[in-house]
């Protein structure tokens, strides 16, 4: 190890027969002596101005080798190399200083012939899980004699092994080529290894010459027939390579893998020895835009959503291509799948037993995959028993509220009663206990139909979708849709509908005092309302809901407008509901709120959740891998915020947003769901307004106010999502500003960063090709521009997504309070079913909800995606801080950010216990914890992972 390295002068003395002047321990001629020259040369090759004390240590090491251990010299060299880049300074030549000795030693080393040195490297790999399928596969391959794995099994012919080669940061001055070590061969069984469990560390030896300089990169070739996971490589305990990647066999990919040390470099600062490798690595990741992607590939490229339909199954399964002039949309990662039989422009979807391509390192890690697979298995089993229940009673409707509450209390509804004639009832009763749904945050409080008015209003600012509420600026509201196509733009809401619910205010006074707010889904749904209502078991309105801000800071619903797009004079196209005055209007009011909730659930999922976080952030991930080197400081900052997102999105394209997927079969818009998402992207989405402060201002919920802590004045002071979110936003912003200004002190540094500019340009022009000409895209010219863009990206990838995702089951898992769709419109007095409604309004309400199978399917899916996996990495946590070990400013910034997240969590807890904050504290009121940073695994309704995950 480094502590045993001796100075190269000992070797020189040995060769010149002057060995007698050295102590006995130095006279032992071995490889430790040879490695010493690397240590001193390591220092002398760094073009930095060292601290005076460091220079004297190095001079002393040259003059008196037995007075200073070489590991001290190596540490000094690393410290010098890791200093921030600055122009080389002339060395002082004052008499008596240690500087003369250092300079002389450096020149001496250049004149001396290069000596072979031996460096020890520790290579850590991870075992593959030993499930039965892998074990049988391995056995067959070993029988064929062509397999080896890091589990220590397989053949070991001379041509097998993992070939590693170090690349110096320096180049040969004459040949102008990078300095390379000799190749080192790692054999799984023959190479010395340490450790047990999932990680195994192997020791390999590199041979370099004494003028090698600092290792900056390492190339890896896998000559075995199977991939392996390379965790890290450590050279002499000084230079570290955090690889964290699957290395494919040469047979699958003949190109050498390239890994860089943890030292971050801007493009202009890249050492000459690794500049070419930096460019080569990016070229490999971009691919050539052709061919079918294999699971082993690492290629990131763009494509439209052409594989969510399945025309091979029939015309009813055709879905439009998302992306392009007809249906503008962000791009996703290209898979290169084969075309369908009926339309070569459409890509054939993969079957349910296959997986869509994502680059190999974007796949789930083992613990994540196991947790996800277990959740899917449980969801499937939860769906079996309701199906048997349907068979047993020949009905799929909820007959009474006990059918719904039974989903939670006993696991499944009345199995022994409804299924007593089916075989194995005792076994089914045992299974149901395992498959029961946990109580949600709402069904433990509300066991009747719908939400009480106070909770209905609270959910708009402290529920799973706190992003749709807006301040009402004009009364009555006015549509922006084309009047010739969709009818009058004026709302049916009149002053007389709301005048009695404004606490004595006039409508104008309430508007001026910012007391009126709205959930406006009219323009989103009306263009699709006829198509939705033509589907089986789907009935919907385009809704508007008005709220009054009370003196307690809560929102009180005061009117609901339900709109249809039709010309039939027998049925009104617009209907207004107001708070009930009797039993009949009470049930109509509850039905109206249920329709609003189904609108809200659809918008939450298709626009705020899927579009604004998942779909739009995938484009940034693709651009980051294609244009920012792994050694780029901005890549290093963003890396944890990209984890698992592409895999989650691929699964969504396969099972959620595809034809007949979970979204279509569960939510209001059905097969028109993605068209609604496209329309929102085309007409409404703007990256410059995606940051939290800008979004609050856009919705009229806040106004700029420099006197306030966050520069904003909230018009709803007790708005849990906004107040907690601003704390998180400010912490992210401070971290990013510190980080950006450290690497980019001025505008010139931003403008001259070729990778950074290419990254931003490609993200816009390729990732958002349909909106690339929009005038609202932020400029990227200054450090503040960059900090603003990165703050928004990190916000969207972490806290924004967490607020929308991890409360889906806790706040939406009780179907009566948040139905994903409705199956009946409100009864009209002239219709036959009105009498049925009057006779049994509860039965009518229950028959309007999703069926038993639809409800349990929805509940099972939201339960899966609301859960944290055991390997979750939460905001404020970084596993790669060693990257900045020589940058105390960055280390301090990350430490401060970690402390900020812990402080914010405590502040949120205090707010949740403040009885004056009625939207988060009170009898039966659920505390708002969705923006608390930490969480245990499972469904907790809290926790902010670094990335968009489930």
- Measured over the CA atoms of residue 677, residue 680, residue 686 and residue 690, the dihedral's sign is negative
- Highest mean pLDDT range out of 33-42, 59-68, 153-162, 816-825? 816-825
pLDDT in tens, 684-696: 999 999 999 999 9
Class of domain 468-602+826-833: alpha beta
List, by residue range, all CATH 2.60.60.20 domains of the chain. 116-127+160-286
CATH T-level assignment (fold) for domain 116-127+160-286: Lipoxygenase-1 (2.60.60)
886: which residues sit within 8 A by CB, 6+ positions away? 78, 79, 82, 83
| End-to-end Cα spacing for the chain | 43
Backbone angles phi, psi at 833, to 5 degrees: -75, -5
Q: Which DSSP symbol is given to 699?
A: T
pLDDT in tens, 711-746: 999 999 999 999 999 999 999 999 999 999 999 999
Q: Is 942 left (phi over 0), alpha (psi -120 to 50) or beta?
A: beta
Looking at residue 125, what is its pLDDT?
A: 95
Q: What is the 3-state secondary structure (H, E, C) of 418-432?
A: HCCCCCCHHHHHHHH
Check pLDDT > 70 for residue 109: no
837, 648 in Cβ contact below 8 A? no
List, by residue range, all CATH 3.10.450.60 domains of the chain. 468-602+826-833
Mean pLDDT calculated for residue range 613-618: 98
Q: DSSP secondary structure string, 240-280?
A: EEEEEEEE-BTTT--SPEEEE-S----GGG--HHHHHHHHH
337, 275 in Cβ contact below 8 A? no
Nearest to 703 by CA among 715, 718, 720, 690: 715
441, 941 in Cβ contact below 8 A? yes
C-alpha separations of 798 from 47, 641, 729, 795, 863 in Å: 40, 7, 10, 5, 20
C-alpha separations of 372 from 202, 284, 318, 367, 949 in Å: 32, 31, 29, 9, 11
397, 848 in Cβ contact below 8 A? no
- Highest mean pLDDT range out of 308-312, 373-377, 605-609? 605-609
- Measured over the CA atoms of residue 473, residue 477, residue 478 and residue 481, the dihedral's sign is positive
Check pLDDT > 60 for residue 69: no
Nearest to 40 by CA among 117, 96, 95: 117
List beta partners, residue 883. Answer: none
Mean pLDDT calculated for residue range 828-857: 93
Q: Which DSSP symbol is given to 571?
A: S
Check pLDDT > 50 for residue 74: no
Nearest to 511 by CA among 536, 478, 546, 483: 546
Between 569 and 902, the more confident residue is 902
Between 96 and 324, the more confident residue is 324
pLDDT in tens, 232-284: 999 998 899 999 999 999 999 999 999 999 999 999 999 999 999 999 999 99
Q: Which DSSP symbol is given to 151?
A: T
Looking at residue 405, what is its pLDDT?
A: 81
C-alpha separations of 310 from 217, 351, 485, 717, 795 in Å: 46, 10, 31, 48, 35
Check pLDDT > 80 for residue 217: yes
Mean pLDDT of the chain: 84
**pTM of the entire predicted model:** 0.86
908, 931 in Cβ contact below 8 A? yes
Cα 136 vs. chain centroid, distance in angstroms?
34
Backbone angles phi, psi at 614, to 5 degrees: -60, -60
Taking every pair of Cα atoms in the chain, the longest distance, rounded to a whole number of angstroms, is 115
Residue 5's Cβ-side half-sphere holds a number of Cα atoms within 13 Å equal to 29
- Measured over the CA atoms of residue 245, residue 246, residue 248 and residue 253, the dihedral's sign is negative
Check pLDDT > 90 for residue 799: yes
Residue 892's Cβ-side half-sphere holds a number of Cα atoms within 13 Å equal to 5
Looking at residue 1, what is its pLDDT?
A: 35
Check pLDDT > 80 for residue 361: yes
Four-CA torsion 593, 595, 599, 604, nearest 10 degrees:
50
Cα 292 to Cα 299: distance, rounded to the nearest angstrom: 11
Cα 809 to Cα 588: distance, rounded to the nearest angstrom: 26
Looking at residue 108, what is its pLDDT?
A: 54
Band (406; pLDDT cuts 50, 70, 90):
confident
Band (428; pLDDT cuts 50, 70, 90):
low
């Amino acid at each position: 190890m480094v502590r045993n390295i001796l100075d190269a002068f000992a070797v020189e003395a040995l060769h010149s027969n002057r060995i007698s002047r050295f102590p006995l321990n130095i006279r032992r001629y071995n490889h430790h002596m040879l490695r010493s020259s690397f240590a001193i040369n390591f220092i002398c090759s760094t073009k930095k101005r060292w601290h005076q004390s460091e220079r004297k240590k190095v001079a002393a090491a040259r003059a008196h080798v037995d007075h200073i251990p070489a590991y001290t010299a190596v540490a000094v060299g690393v410290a010098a190399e890791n200093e921030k880049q600055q122009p080389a300074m002339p060395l002082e030549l004052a008499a008596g200083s240690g500087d003369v000795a250092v300079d002389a030693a450096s020149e001496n080393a250049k004149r001396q012939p290069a000596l072979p040195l031996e460096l020890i490297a520790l290579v850590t790999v991870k075992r593959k899980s030993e499930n039965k399928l892998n074990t049988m596969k391995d056995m067959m391959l070993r029988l064929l004699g062509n397999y080896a794995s890091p589990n220590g099994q397989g053949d070991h012919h001379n041509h097998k092994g993992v070939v590693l080669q170090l690349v110096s940061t320096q180049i040969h001055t004459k040949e102008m080529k990078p300095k390379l070590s000799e190749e080192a061969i790692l054999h799984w069984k023959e190479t010395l290894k340490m450790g047990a469990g999932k990680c195994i560390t192997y020791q390999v030896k590199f041979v370099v010459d004494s003028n090698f300089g600092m290792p900056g990169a390492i190339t890896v070739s896998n000559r075995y027939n199977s991939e392996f996971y390379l965790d890290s490589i450590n050279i002499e305990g000084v230079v570290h390579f955090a690889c964290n990647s699957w290395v494919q066999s040469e047979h699958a990919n003949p190109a050498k893998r390239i890994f860089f040390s943890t030292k971050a470099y801007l493009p202009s600062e890249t050492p000459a020895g690794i500049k070419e490798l930096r460019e080569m690595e990016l070229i490999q990741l971009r691919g050539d835009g052709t061919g079918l992607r294999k699971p082993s590939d690492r290629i990131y490229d763009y494509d439209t959503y052409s594989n969510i339909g399945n025309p091979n199954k029939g015309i009813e399964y055709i879905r439009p291509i998302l992306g392009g002039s007809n249906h503008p949309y962000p791009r996703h990662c290209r898979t290169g799948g084969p075309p369908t039989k009926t339309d070569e422009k459409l890509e054939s979807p993969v079957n349910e037993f296959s997986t869509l391509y994502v680059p190999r390192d974007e796949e789930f890690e083992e613990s994540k995959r196991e947790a996800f697979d277990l959740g899917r298995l449980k969801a499937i089993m939860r769906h079996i028993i309701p199906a048997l229940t349907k068979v047993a009673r020949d009905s799929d409707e909820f007959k009474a509220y006990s059918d719904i509450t039974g989903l939670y209390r006993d696991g499944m509804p009345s199995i022994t009663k409804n299924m007593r004639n089916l075989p194995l009832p005792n076994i089914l009763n045992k299974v149901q206990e395992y498959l029961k749904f946990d109580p949600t945050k709402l069904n433990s409080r509300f066991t009747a139909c719908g939400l009480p008015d106070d909770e209905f209003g609270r959910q708009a600012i402290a529920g799973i979708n706190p992003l749709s509420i807006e301040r009402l600026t004009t009364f009555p509201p006015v549509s922006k849709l084309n009047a010739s196509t969709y009818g009058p733009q004026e709302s049916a809401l009149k002053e007389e509908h709301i005048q009695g619910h404004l606490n004595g205010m006039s409508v104008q006074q309430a508007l001026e005092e910012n007391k009126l707010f709205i959930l406006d889904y009219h323009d989103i749904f009306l263009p699709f309302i006829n198509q939705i209502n033509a589907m089986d078991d789907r009935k919907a309105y385009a809704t508007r809901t008005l709220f009054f801000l009370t003196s307690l800071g809560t929102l009180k619903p005061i009117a609901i407008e339900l709109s249809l797009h039709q010309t039939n004079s027998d049925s009104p196209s617009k209907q207004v509901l107001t708070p009930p005055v009797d039993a009949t209007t009470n049930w109509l009011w509850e039905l109206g709120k249920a329709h609003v909730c189904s609108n809200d659930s659809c918008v939450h999922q298709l626009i705020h959740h899927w579009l604004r976080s998942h779909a739009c952030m995938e484009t940034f991930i693709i651009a980051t891998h294609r244009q920012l080197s792994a050694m780029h400081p901005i890549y290093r900052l963003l890396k944890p915020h990209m984890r698992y997102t592409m895999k989650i999105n691929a699964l969504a394209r396969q099972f959620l947003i595809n034809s007949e997927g979970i979204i279509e079969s569960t939510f209001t818009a059905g097969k028109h769901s993605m068209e609604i998402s496209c329309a929102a992207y085309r007409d409404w989405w703007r990256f410059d307004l995606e940051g939290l402060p800008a979004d609050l201002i856009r919705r009229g919920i806040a106004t700029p106010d420099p006197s306030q802590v966050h520069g904003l004045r909230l018009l709803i002071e007790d708005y849990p999502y906004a107040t907690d979110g601003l704390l998180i936003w400010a912490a992210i912003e401070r971290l990013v500003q510190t980080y950006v200004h450290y690497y980019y002190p001025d505008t010139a540094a931003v403008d001259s960063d070729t990778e950074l500019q290419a990254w931003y340009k490609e993200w816009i022009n390729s990732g958002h090709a349909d909106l690339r000409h929009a005038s609202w895209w932020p400029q990227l010219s200054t450090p503040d521009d960059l900090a603003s863009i990165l703050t928004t990206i990190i916000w969207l990838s972490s806290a924004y997504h967490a607020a929308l995702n991890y409360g889906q089951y806790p706040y939406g898992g009780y179907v009566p309070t948040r139905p994903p769709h409705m199956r009946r419109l409100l009864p009209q007095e002239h219709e036959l079913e009105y009498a049925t409604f009057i006779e049994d309004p509860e039965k009518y309400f229950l028959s309007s909800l999703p069926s038993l199978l639809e409800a349990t399917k929805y509940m099972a899916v939201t339960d899966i995606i609301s859960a944290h996996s055991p390997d979750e990495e939460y905001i404020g946590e970084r596993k790669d801080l060693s990257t900045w070990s020589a940058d105390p400013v960055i280390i301090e910034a990350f430490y401060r950010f970690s402390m900020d997240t812990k402080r914010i969590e405590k502040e949120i807890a205090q707010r949740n216990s403040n009885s004056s904050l009625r939207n988060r504290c009170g009898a039966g009121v659920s505390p708002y914890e969705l923006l608390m940073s930490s969480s245990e695994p499972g469904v907790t309704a809290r926790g902010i992972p670094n990335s968009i995950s489930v």
